[in-house]
C-alpha cells in the first residue's frame, strides 16, 4: 500500500505583526492557569505562528485538530481582534460590562498598587485582574481581555517593560544630584497624532 502523504495547509493569510499589547496578552493567556483551556490553546496557536511556526506546527503545539483550524483562527483574529481568542459565549447568562464596570476597572488601575497587598509595584493585566476579582466591590468574573480593551480605549498602552502607561507617556529612571534615582513620567507631545496614524494602519 502506498504510504500516506500529509499535505500542509497553505498559509494564504499570514498572521500580521503583533503589537506589544497583543504579544503581552497572548503570552499571559498562554501561561494562565485560570483561563479556559480553549482560550489558552488559541493564544498558544497564535504565538506559535507569530514565532514562525507553520499552521500545522502551531496546531500540534496548541492541541488543534488541524492546520485549517489555525488558519481560521488567524482570519478571525485579523477580523475580530482578541474576541477571536476569548471565543463566543458558551451558554448561560453573559457577563455584561457597561460604563460603570469600565469605570471601576480604570479606578483600580489608577490606584497605586500596594506591594504587600497586591504583590506588585506596577500593574500588569494579570495583577490588575487579581485585584479586581478579590476586591469586595470588584468584578469577580472579569477577564484580562475586558481589562485590556478598557485600558486600550482609555488611551493606555503597554510599555517595553510590560507596564501600562497613558499613550505617549513612559516611566524613566533619572539620577538625582545626590546620587539617588527617581522615576519620572516623560510625555511625547505628538503622541495623539502618532496614535491616530497607528490606529488607521492597524485597522
Same domain? 112 vs 186 = yes
Q: What domain count does the chain have?
A: 2
Counts of helices then strands in the chain (DSSP H, E): 10, 4
Same domain? 132 vs 48 = no
Q: Which range marks the domain in which residue 66 is found?
A: 20-86
**pLDDT score of 10:** 57
Tens digit of each residue's pLDDT, the chain (203 residues): 444 434 445 567 889 999 888 888 899 889 888 788 999 999 999 999 999 999 999 999 999 999 999 999 999 999 988 888 987 654 444 456 789 999 999 999 999 999 899 988 888 888 899 999 999 999 998 888 888 888 888 888 776 555 666 655 544 455 666 666 554 444 444 444 444 444 333 32
Domain final residue, candidates 64, 86, 108? 86
Same domain? 32 vs 109 = no
pTM of the model: 0.60
In a domain, 15, yes or no: no
What residues contact residue 180 under an 8 Å CB cut-off, 6+ apart? none
Domain final residue, candidates 86, 114, 141? 86
**pLDDT score of 98:** 87
In a domain, 12, yes or no: no
Same domain? 114 vs 47 = no
**pLDDT score of 104:** 95
In a domain, 4, yes or no: no
**pLDDT score of 108:** 95
**pLDDT score of 183:** 47
Amino acid at each position: 500500500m502506498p504510504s500516506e502523504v500529509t499535505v500542509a495547509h497553505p498559509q494564504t493569510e499570514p498572521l500580521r505583526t503583533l503589537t506589544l499589547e497583543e504579544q503581552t496578552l497572548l503570552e499571559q493567556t498562554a501561561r494562565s492557569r485560570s483561563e479556559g483551556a480553549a482560550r489558552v490553546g488559541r493564544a498558544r496557536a497564535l504565538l506559535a505562528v507569530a514565532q514562525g511556526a507553520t499552521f500545522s506546527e502551531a496546531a500540534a503545539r496548541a492541541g488543534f485538530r488541524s492546520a485549517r483550524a489555525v488558519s481560521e483562527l488567524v482570519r478571525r483574529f485579523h477580523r475580530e481582534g482578541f474576541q477571536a481568542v476569548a471565543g463566543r459565549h458558551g451558554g448561560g447568562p453573559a457577563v455584561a460590562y457597561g460604563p460603570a464596570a469600565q469605570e471601576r476597572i480604570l479606578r483600580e488601575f489608577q490606584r497605586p498598587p500596594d506591594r504587600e497587598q497586591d504583590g506588585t509595584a506596577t500593574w500588569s493585566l494579570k495583577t490588575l485582574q487579581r485585584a479586581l476579582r478579590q476586591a469586595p466591590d470588584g468584578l469577580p468574573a472579569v477577564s484580562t481581555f475586558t481589562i485590556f480593551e478598557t485600558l486600550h480605549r482609555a488611551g493606555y498602552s503597554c510599555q517595553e517593560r510590560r507596564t501600562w502607561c497613558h499613550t505617549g507617556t513612559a516611566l524613566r529612571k533619572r539620577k538625582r544630584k545626590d546620587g539617588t534615582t527617581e522615576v519620572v513620567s516623560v510625555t511625547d507631545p505628538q503622541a495623539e497624532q502618532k496614535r491616530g496614524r497607528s490606529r488607521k494602519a492597524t485597522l
